[in-house]
Structure 1
């Protein structure tokens, strides 16, 4: 299970980048949809850093408890 959690963190980053790209493409056409994609990009990039921080914290805790 732990192996999969390491990679799911990066799914948030990919979704955030794709959302920012979609917002950029929609900016001139439909600004309301672009705002939704900007919001999605901000949230998913925040979740990437948040989950990565806690994943590293739990891994460090696991290493410390094994020693």
Structure 2
């Protein structure tokens, strides 16, 4: 169970990195990096989904 709590924060880190990549590409080249934005948004969504899922799983054990 410890690993799943750790990996939910890894999703948040990757989401921030992908969004940073999209912002830097836009600021430097003026291009909109849709894949980076999509991956960043998906990673942030997965963080909240995993957090909610882990909370439900812990409440089920009690």
- State the TM-score, normalized to the length of structure 2: 0.88
Count matched residues.
Answer: 61
Larger radius of gyration: 1
Partners of 1:31 and 1:44 lie apart in 2 by 21
Partner of 1:56: 55
After TM superposition, the runs of 4+ consecutive aligned structure 1 residues lying more than 3 A away are: none
Gaps of 5+ in 1: none
Partner of 2:22: 23
* 1:13 maps to 2:12: yes
Gaps of 5+ in 2: none
Partner of 1:43: 42
* CA-atom RMSD in angstroms: 1.3
Partners of 2:17 and 2:50 lie apart in 1 by 19
- State the TM-score, normalized to the length of structure 1: 0.82
